[in-house]
């Protein structure tokens, strides 16, 4: 079965305004998608026939081959592009700020820009921690795709419907109703007031899927050190 996988990469240690659009070369390997559910998505090059695949949290191993600002390690994220690959596939990629992605892999595609990137930053800030099982992870992924691909001027953010007169530039998903209802609930809560995650980055490729991933391995390491120090200090105080 083909899999739809395009993601965002989130960095806790860096903020978007401080990053250049291009951060360096990477080697990316998709490991798995879990938790995830199967959805059929329509839009872009899949406007007429749709494509079925896993929607949820994607696991990617990253190895830097240049100065990327992305530490080597395992990342967890979501798709921002409708291009397919398979687990175990390794490909060349680069680190980009979120608004500069996805990098077009099909005709007439364009980066999402800052307005859509800010909606994803707010979605992430509000609900990434709630995407913990197959239903909620797929709902989060569907909401991300809706933000990136709903480009019709007449269509509101709604994963269940699209502009049938402009199907190429509109988006929808077909699948479990619980996923659709939750995705639309979260999209309806985006007011532009946050909370925002301003550390999101994109891992991009012109040939296969683009990702947004989190957490950064370095951030995990620093968090573990911090918790260890807190525990040590408590013992010392006691």
Tell me the pLDDT tens digit for each residue of 147-201: 999 998 889 999 999 999 999 999 999 999 999 999 999 999 999 999 999 989 8
Residue 131's pLDDT band, with cuts at 50, 70 and 90, is very high
Residue 230's pLDDT band, with cuts at 50, 70 and 90, is very low
End-to-end CA distance of the chain: 57
Burial of 116 (0-12, 13-18, 19+ CB in 10 A): buried
Burial of 189 (0-12, 13-18, 19+ CB in 10 A): exposed
Q: Domain ranges in the chain? A: 9-237
Report cis status (omega within 30 of 0) of the bond before 102.
yes
Between vectors from CA 8 to CA 196 and to CA 74, what angle results, nearest 5°?
A: 110
8 A C-beta contact, residue 183 and residue 139? yes
The token pair at 174 is: 């077909």
CA dist 51 and 85 (Å) reads 13
Tell me the pLDDT tens digit for each residue of 17-46: 334 455 668 888 888 999 999 999 999 889
Q: Return the pLDDT at 174.
A: 97
**pTM of the predicted model as reported, rounded to 2 decimal places:** 0.81
Q: Return the pLDDT at 6.
A: 36
Residue the block writes with tokens 């994607």:
58
CA atoms in the 13 A half-sphere facing the CB of 136: 10
Q: Is residue 229's pLDDT more than 70?
A: no
């Amino acid at each position: 079965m083909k899999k739809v996988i395009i993601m965002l990469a989130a960095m806790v240690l860096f903020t978007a305004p401080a990053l250049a659009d291009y951060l360096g070369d990477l080697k990316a390997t998709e490991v798995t998608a879990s938790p995830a559910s199967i959805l059929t998505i329509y839009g872009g090059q899949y406007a007429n026939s749709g494509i079925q695949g896993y929607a949820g949290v994607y696991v990617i191993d990253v190895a830097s081959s240049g100065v990327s600002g992305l530490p080597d390690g395992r990342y967890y994220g979501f798709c921002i592009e409708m291009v397919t690959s398979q687990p175990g596939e390794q490909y060349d990629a680069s680190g980009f700020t979120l608004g500069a992605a996805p990098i077009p892999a099909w005709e007439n595609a364009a980066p999402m820009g800052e307005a859509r990137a800010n909606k994803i930053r707010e979605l992430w800030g509000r609900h990434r921690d709630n995407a913990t099982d197959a239903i909620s992870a797929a709902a989060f992924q569907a909401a991300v795709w809706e933000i990136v691909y709903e480009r019709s001027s007449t269509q509101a953010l709604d994963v269940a419907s699209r502009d049938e007169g402009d199907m190429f530039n509109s988006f929808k998903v077909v699948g479990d109703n619980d996923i659709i209802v939750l995705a639309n609930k979260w999209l309806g809560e985006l007011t532009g007031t946050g909370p925002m995650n301003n550390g999101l980055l994109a891992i991009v490729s012109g040939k296969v899927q683009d990702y947004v991933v989190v957490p950064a391995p370095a951030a995990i390491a620093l968090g573990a050190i911090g918790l260890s120090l807190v525990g040590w200090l408590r013992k010392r105080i006691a």
